[in-house]
Amino acid sequence: MFKRSSLRKSGAKNIKQQVEKQPLLQSIFEKAYDAIAVTDDRGTFIEVNAAACQLFGLSHTALIGRILADFTDTEFDFAKICFNVQAGSQQTGKFDLLRPDGILREVEYTLTLNVVPQRHLMILRDITDRKKAAEDELWCQRQWVELFSEVTLKIRQSLQLKEILRATVTEVQRILQADRVLIYQVLPDGTGKAISEAVLPNYPTILDLEFPEEVFPQEYQKLYAEGRVRAITDVHNPDNELAQCLIEFIDQFDIKSKLIVPILQNLNSHQQSESNSQNQLWGLLIAHHCDRPRQWVNFELEVMQQLADQISIALAQAQLLENLEEIVEVRTAELKDVNRNLHQEINDRMQAESALRRSEEQLRLITNALPVFIAYVDDQQQYRFNNKAYEDWLGKSPANIHGCHIQQVWGEDCYQRMQIHVEAALLGHIVTYENEIVLCDGNSRSFNITYIPHIDEQKIVKGFFSLASDISDRKAIERTKDEFISVVSHELRTPLTSLHSALKILVTGRLGTLSTDGQQMLEIADENTERLVRLVNNVLDLQRIELGKFTMEKQVCKAADFMIQATEAMQPMAQQHGVTLVTQPVDIQIWVDSDYIVQALTNLLSNAIKFSLPGGTVWLTAECQQASQVLFCVHDQGQGIPQSKLETIFERFQQVDSSDSRKKGGTGLGLAICRKIIEQHEGKIWAESILGEGSSFYFTLPNLPG
């Protein structure tokens, strides 16, 4: 309010007059929130409003006439400012105002020069509180940022949920200057308990205290699950609508104000998109104020909420860790199992290997003790096993046999003789053959060698076992025996021939007749002499063929010719036995010594007739085969030959029944001679038979070359 006394001062008069004329402006001047002052060029206060008096802490009277410089520091030079400001323009700035009562205020001003000549208008505003508030807020925000980074760091550094929660409550309590901060976990049965707490020493702890369900009913939980945040300034204020039992519970702990933020757990954050994810209330982050009601500010609320989110992240991480630990546990258990199994397997394998080694040693011991040469050759024709005798036989060390190719071990010449048999064994055939081998000592020995193929479950030939026995001694004996028989046969043949001729003449009766008994005796003698002659001839024949002491005179022959020749020769015998002899001659040309082939054929036909019953038929057939050979067959309907004898009857003096020679007048040499003849023609001979139904003797001869 303007006073009469001030009107006396020059300069103020005009303004006052103007103001009086304008009651509205006067009222604004008086009631303005900002301080308004009118000064002269030196900064002397000519007029001030009530707000200015309040700002300077002086009465209107005391302030009028004082200069602004009295209240500022030396740096604030009013005259200088006026000098720099052009007339009619404005200048804003700040200065520190030191009031007479000693209080320091920060003031913001706007100076308008010469609103009337030499009178300047100053509008002043105390910005001390505003600045302090801004600074406080900044400090507060910095604290929160620190808290944030600390808690977030803790979450990153630690995966231990308990540790994270403890750090959170401690830091929140410190920054918020709250009396108690706690984390309350909601349990599945609707109850809950404080699992982490930071509380000032003057207040009771509620850590581990279980909250009854009534205190925290389902509907509250539902609201919190939806993300509700509650800031309660005064718990006793009925506007908060807190349940009576909750208020009673709260009172026990002197709680006046509460700030509650839900901690949510995103159940499906890993499997589903955000829109589908489902939140579950895990717990609450709660701040208590106990000494008096507290007005929570928005910023605190926001920060609490963000911290609750961080805890949610920590929860998810802890969950992950738990899952990870479970997985690790399971995997470790599995690994242990695998280890155990592996261990077991290694043990088993070691045992199996040592058993194998033992059995190999035994096998080696046994095979080393045998007077037979034993070896195993794989499908690449490389030695995989051999006994000691084999090494001695070859005069080679194990290193020069094991893993080496047969050719390398035996040399080119010997391998040439073995190759066909080796290949046959590797095709899965059992092979037996004889071979003359020059040993390391330079001596030549005869060996009987058998290859037995090793065929696996998939019928694949993996190799073969080779068994060889030295038959040199047996061969020598055989040779001596043969020579002996040969010599004896030769010596026998001349006297036998004359004996046989003499008996033949006697039997005819041309030299006189005998009694019936005498005649009978003579016929028996004749018959047996004839058999003896045949035997001697056969022995000599065989001997000759075996020793190669004969020459095959091969020429182009018609198969039909010697088939007819042989049949005709055997016709009388067939008639004598009441057997029909049938032949189907074929017009094939072959390269043979026909005399020997006729000999073979007549021998087979004579056997067929001999072993046929009267009334039976014997067939002689021949046919051309694909493999450029001709197949001959002598088939009868006789008694047949057992399977076990089909091969042995081709050996010397071998008969199905030892009485055959006596009963049928045979020598047991016919088939052996046949085989020799056919083999000399590079053919094969064999027999097939069904007991009681008959036998078939086959032999092949090569077709005419070209």
Please identify, using beta-carbon distances, which residue of 255 and 542 lies nearer to ligand ADP. 542
- Closer to ligand ADP by CB, 29 or 611: give it: 611
Residue 155 class from Cβ within 10 Å (0-12 exposed, 13-18 middle, 19+ buried)?
buried
Please tell me the chain's helix, strand, coil percentages from 3-state DSSP, rounded to the nearest 5: 50, 25, 30
Query: Between 649 and 685, whose beta carbon lies closer to ligand ADP?
Result: 649
- CB of residue 653 vs ligand ADP: minimum separation in angstroms? 8
Q: Which CB sits closer to ligand ADP, 570 or 669? A: 669
Q: Smallest distance, Å, CB 615 to ligand ADP? A: 16
Distance of CA 192 to the CA centre of its chain: 49
Cα–Cα distance between 192 and 185 in angstroms, integer?
5
Beta carbon nearer to ligand ADP, 250 or 608:
608
| Cα first-last separation, the chain | 154
Q: Which is nearer to ligand ADP, 63 or 671 (CB)?
A: 671
Residue 542 Cβ vs ligand ADP, minimum distance, rounded to whole Å? 10
**E strands, 615-674, in order:** 617-625, 629-635
CB of 570 to ligand ADP, least distance (A): 13
Shorter beta-carbon distance to ligand ADP: residue 633 or 656: 656
Shortest gap between Cβ of 430 and ligand ADP (angstroms)? 24
Q: 192-199 and 210-211 as β-strands: parallel, antiparallel, unpaired?
A: antiparallel
Give the residue carrying structure tokens 């930071």.
198
Nearest distance from C-beta of residue 649 to ligand ADP, angstroms: 4
Q: Which residue's structure tokens are 């020493």?
A: 201
**What is the smallest separation between the CB atom of 663 and ligand ADP, expressed in angstroms?**
9
* 323/302 Cα distance (integer angstroms): 32
Compute the distance between CA of residue 592 and CA of residue 632 in angstroms, rounded to an integer.
Answer: 14
* Longest distance between any two alpha carbons in the chain, whole Å: 214
- Whole-angstrom distance, CA of residue 388 vs CA of residue 281: 85
* Residue 659 near residue 649, CB atoms below 8 Å: no
Burial annotation 682-698 (CB, 10 A radius, 16+ → b, else e): ebebebebeeeebbbbb
Residue 668 or 702 having the CB closest to ligand ADP: 668
Rounded distance, CA 657 to CA 669, Å? 14
- Min separation Cβ 389 and ligand ADP, Å: 37
Nearer to ligand ADP, 262 or 666 (CB): 666
Kindly state the smallest distance separating residue 376's Cβ from ligand ADP, in Å: 38
One-letter amino acid at 225 equals A
Question: 475 vs 531, which CB is nearer to ligand ADP?
Answer: 531
> CA 624: distance to chain centroid?
60
CA 622 to chain centre: 64
- Least Cβ distance, residue 559 to ligand ADP (angstroms): 21
Q: What is the DSSP letter of 289?
A: E
Which residues pair with residue 466 across a beta bridge? 375, 451
List residues near ligand ADP by CB under 6 A. Answer: 603, 607-608, 611, 636, 638-639, 641, 649, 655-657, 660-661, 666-672, 695
Quick count: other Cβ atoms within 10 Å of Cβ 140?
A: 17
Nearest to ligand ADP of 401, 672 (CB atom): 672
d(CA 637, CA 578): 13
Q: What's the CA angle centered on 544, arms 542 and 549, to 5 degrees?
A: 155
Contact assessment for residue 289 and residue 272, using Cβ atoms and an 8 Å cutoff = no
Of 110 and 580, nearer to ligand ADP (C-beta) is 580
**Least distance in angstroms from the C-beta of 445 to ligand ADP:** 30
- Give me the residues paired with residue 93 across strands: 109
Residue at shortest CB range from ligand ADP = 666
